[in-house]
Structure 1
Amino acid sequence: MIVVAGWLATDIWRWLGVIVGNRLREDSEILIWVRAVATALVAGVISRLILFPTGALASSPLALRIAAAVIGFVAFLYFKQRVVVGVLVAEAALVVGWLLI
């Protein structure tokens, strides 16, 4: 019952998004605003993970977390803005740095 109720509650919004989304232009004001809000939320989460980590990440030094983020960002830019590459390179830098410390 919970699964069905949860599916119905979210599925309605998905269908409305598909219907309304087909009528919006990519350069419309609302999509520019949505993209800006989404980018700000991602930046906030990344900043929180770097500056105020929890769990096992909290035991790593701040300099290592910042260095891993910078290395991942450089890889993201170098490989034609591929998010997967940036994330994987940042994770690898963090793990390698963690093992060397």
Structure 2
Amino acid sequence: MSEFFGNPHALLVLVLAGFLPNEIWRMAGLWFGAGVDEGSEVLVWVRAVATAILAGVIAQILVQPPGALAGVPDWLRYGAVATGFAVFMLTRRSIFAGVVSGEIILLAGKWWLG
């Protein structure tokens, strides 16, 4: 199992440099935004921008896959996106469910192919 997680020092650096600084801002956003109306124009715009960024990242991964994803066959990447989109539509437009299901298909397919 240690091969899967890698070097413990690298994980510690990842948590300290990547996770904790982001969590501080997320918690501050939750605290400051507790009384903001969910239907306000500003939050609708923020949600639209976040969705557009996610769509851009997915398009980038499909067209020009970075790093290890370049070794994943095109049909598997496109199949994972199609599955994610289908789950997104079936779960009343849950972005979380769509992204997670696409990742599961991608990981399972790559594991199956070896």
- TM bin, normalised by shorter chain, reads 0.5 to 0.7
1:83/1:31 Cα in 2 relative to 1: closer, same or farther (>3 Å)? closer
Establish whether residue 18 from structure 1 lines up as the match of residue 27 from structure 2: no
Instruction: Could you list the structure 1 runs, at least 4 aligned residues long, displaced by more than 6 angstroms after superposition.
Output: none
Q: TM-score, normalised by structure 2?
A: 0.59
1:33/1:82 Cα in 2 relative to 1: closer, same or farther (>3 Å)? closer
Question: Which structure 1 segments of 5+ residues have no match?
Answer: none
Q: TM-score, normalised by structure 1?
A: 0.65
| Percent identity for Structure 1 against Structure 2 | 39
Structure 1: how far apart are the matches of 2:45 and 2:35? 16
Q: Equivalent of 1:35, from 47, 66, 82?
A: 47
Alignment root-mean-square deviation, CA: 3.1
Structure 2: how far apart are the matches of 1:24 and 1:51? 38
Question: Which structure 2 segments of 5+ residues have no match?
Answer: 1-15
Structure 2: how far apart are the matches of 1:59 and 1:68? 15
Aligned residues: 92
Establish whether residue 70 from structure 1 lines up as the match of residue 78 from structure 2: no
Structure whose alpha-carbon radius of gyration is higher: 1
Relative contact order: is structure 1 or structure 2 higher (C-alpha 8 Å, sep ≥ 6)? Answer: 1
Structure 1: how far apart are the matches of 2:55 and 2:100? 17
Structure 1: how far apart are the matches of 2:36 and 2:71? 46
